[in-house]
Structure 1
Amino acid sequence: MDLLSRNAPTSEGLGLSKTPLLAALAIVEFLGPCRFSHFDAFGLPVGKPVPLPVVQIGATALDQTEQTMDMIRGMLSESPAEAIYGLDIGKMIVQFKSGKPGSIKPKATAGRTNEGNRPSFCLMDECHHWVSSNGGPDFFQTLKRNIEKTTKAGSRWVSTTNAYSPNEDSVAQIIHESEMVAQGYWLYDCLEGSIALEDIRDPEAVRAALIEAYGDATWADIDGLTRTIIYDRTTPDSTYCRFFFNQIAESSDGWMSKSEWDACYSEDDPIKPGDQIAIGFDGSIRGDSTGLCGVRLRDAKLFVLGVWERPENAPDDWEVDVLAVEAAVNSAFKTYRVAWMYCDPPYWQENIGRWAIEHGDDTVFEFWTNKPTRMTQAVERFRTAAMVGDLKHDGDYRLTRHVLNAVTREVPQGLLIQKDSPRSKRKIDLAVCAVLALEARADAIADGRMQIRRSRVVGW
């Protein structure tokens, strides 16, 4: 018991009222007799309050702590504890009116300013969102290091999370894969629904897995969740596995399954010269592929205009043939009626500028894929179009390979697509091109550029 009390516990769950639990723990650590004092005459342990209770609510941004702080204020306001302990309950801090040392307050990433703090208790909520892009792993190490310096006095921390993405190296993954968990020094508790991906449309299997995953959370709408999973085709099955069944698996982040992509295949009405199209371009120089993808305006049928991939045994100085890319772009404009073109600019801004001059700056536009708000929206629209049958493709094996290689990465704005690892040879560039092409098509139509050719009937 002493070992568990002095080492970091972490738990994993979904929709199980983790935040109220954390709020209650914070209050107990702040006010309650939560440290061992002695054994009474009957041999039972007796607790004592923390002499200097410094409770921190850790997050990568202050607004992420609002829900937990709101819950703490709600539990304390107008409660007997407020009067008995003389609490000053503010929006960002709970402390003693008398000036007695101690507080509950949020803590967010702020460089080295967190180093050297001595919290007696630290909460780390939703740490599957604590990734390198927001400084999460470094922040976690700082908080943990501060706690470890006073563990002999009883300092401790707890974290909660949903199933993490194994491609993000989040704090949740770091904890789960830690040797401290494997050796039993950190308590790790997880509820996971047992269901295979191929059974995700079986109502009985889904219901059983939901009951298993939600445990004693009797407030969960199992019937409603079952209906959603069975009939909603706009959400990837991998998302259900992760956020409803709490499953952690490499395959759970595939953006598109083969069956879903194959359902979009259409061999009828092939793309022909003179068709009105939109184009998506994603360029690289050495590492990744460079791709050019088209989509017909009238029926959203995708096809590949060109792809340049690094050969298996290419020399170290291999580079994309820029002239071949230039020729493919010019050929596309000559062969088809291009209404709109979106291009990801890195490494190719000079070329894109020249294409805009040659083919019209009202036709060729930059589309920065590293802007998450815009890109997550584009990825979501593409996925939805594929699920509801508003998107087609001609079966090109190269596009299929890139689409099936793509995995999802969660950011605050939504889901992005990426390779399964930064150094992976499984390229996804044509998938990005396809997303940009479909966005270009939508904007071209919204701008009134879609032209439908009608046959002229002449009577004699």
Structure 2
Amino acid sequence: MAVLIVPELDDQPWPTLGPQMVSFIEDRCVFGPGSLAGRQAALDAEKKAALYRLYEVYPAGHRLAGRRRFKRGGIEWRKGLAKTEFAAWVSFCELHPEAPARCDGFDANGNPVGRPVMFPYIPMMATSEEQVSELAYGVLKYVVEEGPDADLFDSGLDRIIRLGARGQNEGQVVPVSNAPNSRDGALTTFQCFDEPHRLYLPNQKNAHETMTANLEKRVLEDPWSLYTSTAGQPGQNSIQEDLRKEAEDIDKGLIDDPQMFFFARWAGPEHKDLTTLDLRVAAISEATGPIGEYGPGQFESIARQWDRKGADKSYLERVWLNRWQKSAAQAFDLDKWKTLARPDQKIPDGAFVTIGFDGARFRDATAFVVTDIETGLQMGGKDLLWEQDPKVEDWEVDEDEVTAKLEELMKRFNVWKLYGDPPHWTETMGSWSAKYPDQVEEWWTARKTPMSYAVRAFTEGIDAGIITHTGAEDYTRHIGNAGRRDLRILDDQGQPLWTLGKIELDRKFDQAMAGVLSWKACLDARKSGAKPRRKKRSVIRRLR
């Protein structure tokens, strides 16, 4: 059974408000929109177990007695297991004026006694305002309006207010999309991130950082964050991917006294073969866990989606088997790419290298990648990358800064060739070529056939492990962002050729393109038997 639960259960269980929370949810909540809409809430064993862990507190006698054990909780379950409903129910308890959501001391048996949160402030974040209303916030709004305690709240599309005895505002929930600055200064007591595998853009991650920093302002209310998600696409650097990496580090013992509880379940490697209906049903069953089918034939119905013509099987595997899976639209195998990282290595000064250059001046990004001809080690990353700030509409790359970086590379290394895509940099590359006539070469990526063969060579280099890289996160992100665009052209073996393109509008991959050009130049250098150029020495003439 493939599960990741960290921290592991201790021999001596921690005190927890979980039993009280379970009772409160099943007594005061209802199901959200769907087949069970409006019926009394019921928690399966796995959700109860998650609540028990999420609401663990330090025991009596401890210096932090009664305080929450975890500042963050991460749930990563497959699609269709009511994660969003779970998040809404937890949020309901964090808002409710009678819910036992915080510890108010211990009884004679050492069990924690619950109390409501005082004046709660709860932001709920999703990728857009529309999705906020459709996801956890929308479910919470329904639960508030249709449950037995509707008179305790005033709900709307932009906030849900907890009403006091005189009808005054005693706390609220607000939906959040992508505006970190507007949340600066918020006195947060709890916050929810629904489907954080979709939150990967810089402004979204900035919002997340701002919101997380706000948790320290209400220390008396013991604030925390909940993340409910399905597995995402590796390499997007999403908030969920960061959580998953941290959970894996906790599992490896690399983090002492972890501040996060994380629970993931997925179909393990023994379910790699998905060629038959029965094999897929077994994989879906494992990814689901002990809760089983919600209705007769549910697993078979899901499994038959693989047989649909044109189905994106990578997507199906990711959402129904909860596996971190490369999208069929992604150009490169990111898992393989990560195994080629050599963070302890660098290209030495004076090395014989090639450079790739690609990008746009007024949108997206611009990047260099350097390749050591002898070893195949590539260097990319932040120092060789300029990306558009999403908050700046009239963004433009600083041409002088890019030229200065090229001159730095030319001085630092022995450069055989720079292959650069010229459309957005025609005049600039012209000036580079005038200064470095034997080294700067225009290489048009719009030429479908040559470009597709260059991409194939890069892919083969990754697959064979002859390309390595220094492990720069930004370069890896661009590799993961690169999409595959199939052509109606076959190679010499009758296989379809393809080039690079965007998976989504906001996912930049220019450094991946620069990496392809740098590798192409490296292969050309090897093929031609290129030798390092001798550095010119200055000659001092004597005056007679």
- Relative to the length of structure 1, the TM-score reads 0.58
1:19 corresponding residue in structure 2: 84
Structure 2 residue matching 1:177: 3-state secondary structure: helix
CA distance in 1 between partners of 2:284 and 2:320 (Å): 7
Pairs within 5 Å for 1:287-436: 287=357, 313=373, 316=415, 318-320=417-419, 346-347=424-425, 393-395=490-492, 400=497, 409=503, 422=512, 425-426=515-516
Structure 2 residue matching 1:2: 3-state secondary structure: coil
2:129 corresponding residue in structure 1: 62
1:129 corresponding residue in structure 2: 198
CA contact (8 A) 1:6 1:154 kept: no
Residue from 252, 260, 271 that aligns with 1:186: 260
One-letter code of the match for 1:240? L
One-letter code of the match for 2:294? W
Distance 1:161 1:96, change over 3 A: closer
Amino-acid identity (%): 18
Shift of residue 110, structure 1, vs aligned partner: 1.8
2:177 corresponding residue in structure 1: 108
Distance 1:227 1:399, change over 3 A: closer
Q: Deviations over 1:326-378 (max 9, x none)?
A: xxxxxxxxxxxxxxxxxxx644799xxxxxxxxxxxxxxxxxxxxxxxxxxxx
1:205 corresponding residue in structure 2: 279
Distance 1:214 1:321, change over 3 A: closer
Residue from 52, 73, 86 that aligns with 1:9: 73
One-letter code of the match for 1:155? P
2:320 corresponding residue in structure 1: 244
Shift of residue 237, structure 1, vs aligned partner: 3.2
One-letter code of the match for 1:206? R
1:330 corresponding residue in structure 2: none
Query: 2:215 matched to 1:147?
Result: yes
CA contact (8 A) 2:94 2:117 kept: yes
Q: Deviations over 1:260-303 (max 9, x none)?
A: xxxxxxxxxxxxxxxxxxxxxxxxx94259xxxxxxxxxxxxxx
Q: How many residues align?
A: 318
CA distance in 1 between partners of 2:162 and 2:508 (Å): 48
CA distance in 2 between partners of 1:127 and 1:198 (Å): 26
CA distance in 1 between partners of 2:495 and 2:418 (Å): 20
CA contact (8 A) 2:180 2:210 kept: no
One-letter code of the match for 1:82? A
One-letter code of the match for 2:357? G
Structure 1 residue matching 2:104: 3-state secondary structure: strand
One-letter code of the match for 2:267? G
1:299 corresponding residue in structure 2: none
One-letter code of the match for 2:147? S
Structure 1 residue matching 2:233: 3-state secondary structure: coil
Structure 1 residue matching 2:168: 3-state secondary structure: coil
CA distance in 2 between partners of 1:398 and 1:194 (Å): 32
CA contact (8 A) 2:305 2:311 kept: no
CA contact (8 A) 2:356 2:516 kept: no
CA distance in 1 between partners of 2:314 and 2:139 (Å): 31
Distance 1:16 1:213, change over 3 A: same
Query: 2:185 matched to 1:95?
Result: no
One-letter code of the match for 2:119? L
One-letter code of the match for 2:232? Y
Q: Deviations over 1:387-437 (max 9, x none)?
A: xxxx5624369975x66xx6985679xxx8958x7488356999xxxxxxx
Shift of residue 69, structure 1, vs aligned partner: 2.4
1:77 corresponding residue in structure 2: 145
Distance 1:240 1:346, change over 3 A: farther
CA contact (8 A) 1:15 1:214 kept: no
Distance 1:151 1:172, change over 3 A: farther
Shift of residue 181, structure 1, vs aligned partner: 4.4
Structure 1 residue matching 2:232: 3-state secondary structure: coil
Distance 1:311 1:25, change over 3 A: closer
Structure 2 residue matching 1:190: 3-state secondary structure: strand
Query: 2:299 matched to 1:222?
Result: yes
Structure 2 residue matching 1:92: 3-state secondary structure: coil
Shift of residue 73, structure 1, vs aligned partner: 1.9
CA distance in 2 between partners of 1:210 and 1:151 (Å): 42
Query: 2:93 matched to 1:28?
Result: yes
Structure 1 runs of 4+ aligned residues shifted over 6 Å read 309-312, 396-399, 427-430
CA contact (8 A) 1:29 1:121 kept: yes
Q: Deviations over 1:156-200 (max 9, x none)?
A: 110112212222111111111127745342111111112468612
Pairs within 5 Å for 1:149-188: 149-151=217-219, 153-178=221-246, 181-182=250-251, 183=255, 184-188=258-262
One-letter code of the match for 1:227? R
CA distance in 2 between partners of 1:16 and 1:410 (Å): 27
Shift of residue 131, structure 1, vs aligned partner: 1.0
CA distance in 1 between partners of 2:280 and 2:493 (Å): 34
CA contact (8 A) 1:310 1:318 kept: no
CA contact (8 A) 2:200 2:236 kept: yes
Aligned-pair RMSD on alpha carbons? 4.1
